[in-house]
Amino acid sequence: MENLLRGRRLRRLTVDGVDAVFVRDPVLVRRILVSESKNYGKGELFRKARNLSRVGMLSEDEAMHRHYRRLANPYLRATKVDDYVPAMRDIVRDAVSAWRAGDAVDVQAEMCRITCSIAVGTLIAGLSPETTRALSEGLSRLAWEMIRKPLYGRSAARAARPGASGRLSAARKEFRELLATCIADLQESPGPTVGWLADLLTDSDEEGNRVLTAEQVCEEAVMMLTAATVTTASVMSWTLYVLSQNPLAEERLLKDLMQRRSGSAVDDGGGVGYTLRFLMEILRLYPPVWISCRKALSDVMLGDHALAAGTNVVFSSYLLQRDPERYPDPHRFDPDRWSSIQLSKIDASYIPFGIGSKGCIGESFAWQQLEVILDVLTQEWKLSTERGGHVRTAPETTLHPRRLMMVPRPR
């Protein structure tokens, strides 16, 4: 992509066999996502790689989308996420206590297990420990298959054929059945129920009619829970790998995390603590949602360019966030670059969570989860890559390491 678009802010290309316009200008991307977002709907490209529902937050109806964002917001806003921290810490501590010194672990699989346990344990209320564990394990298997699903090209075409994604289909069916049982139990509960799922089930229109069926609630929950886990698991995998390759950064990070736990953190530059700068740089280099598509709903002007209705417009956070005009030496890992960058002026050159009305509703949840996992894990373990191991980037449903085996040693 970098070679095709070098020196070009907008170029017409064939992407996955479909004519599209690829946009690399953050000013134009902001218009697409924010100031002129009403002119653009969901794009058609890459849909085959997603686990989509047609209701709730992923509905084509903008009013319905906004409505279900509002329903989810009380459980994902920053003040509520703070309440989840003790549970998050317990979940991470329990997971990494099973590791054995010197025995290599598949980091991505482990991060799937941890993020899925956190999502189920915090976002779904009123479950028994056994049910919580079964749901977490089922979601982990689904997330693991989702992460590795090809997003474009011949591999994606093969994976989209009937019966080709057997493991993904089986994992999704298993998790949906577990979730459907939980929803049925909530519906049959004699007393009042609380929580996000309960809100979805009781959501009614002005005449008191329920808006979503139990099946549709299940679809919405599968979408939300997979979205909350596959992205964070991929980011956390890169975080642990980069940490193992940068001993000086590791030393500074451990010091900052210790100070944050004790409440004595000191700003060492730019108003942004080192832990946040470290994670921001990981997300700059390895945005999990690395490519996106929108579709022009009518004939529009994008800057000086006329686009016909139906035109697919593609943009990549990976390219935007490695633009040398905004990020000198863009491929170098440098958390301290965020000491001099004014966050209010980043605009669409940094969009790991998207921007605008369709931006990630779980951003606060994700930031908190990343910090908690990093803090608890690094207190217990120091991870290193296996000798001779080479980590390749896999641009699939998420941008993740192709295979990441690491060896834990007691801290």
Tell me how far apart the alpha carbons of residues 42 and 60 are, in angstroms, rounded to a whole number.
Answer: 8
Three-point CA angle 383, 100, 234, nearest 5°: 45
Report the relative pairing of strands 292-296 and 405-410 from DSSP bridges: unpaired
Closest CA to 351 of 327, 328, 321, 371: 321
Cα torsion for 97, 373, 237, 228, to the nearest 10°? 120
What count of other Cβ atoms lies within 10 Å of the Cβ of residue 94?
Answer: 12
Q: Which residue has the tokens 């064939």?
A: 14
Cα–Cα separations (whole angstroms), residue 97 to 146, 324, 344:
26, 42, 40
Tell me how far apart the alpha carbons of residues 190 and 182 are, in angstroms, rounded to a whole number.
Answer: 14
Tell me how far apart the alpha carbons of residues 30 and 36 are, in angstroms, rounded to a whole number.
Answer: 8
Structural tokens at position 383: 């991870």
| Helix, strand, coil percentages in the chain from 3-state DSSP, rounded to 5 | 55, 10, 30
User: Which helix (H) or strand (E) is 87 found in, with range?
Assistant: helix 78-96
| CA terminus-to-terminus distance, the chain | 40
Report the relative pairing of strands 105-106 and 292-296 from DSSP bridges: unpaired
Q: Which amino acid is at 230?
A: V
Q: Counting beta carbons within 10 angstroms of the beta carbon of residue 230, is it exposed (0 to 12), middle (13 to 18) or buried (19 or more)?
A: buried
Structural tokens at position 402: 């192709």
Residues 6+ apart with CB under 8 A from 17: none
Q: Is residue 182 a known part of a binding site? A: no
Binding site per annotation, positions: 360
Instruction: Extract the annotated binding site for heme.
Output: 360
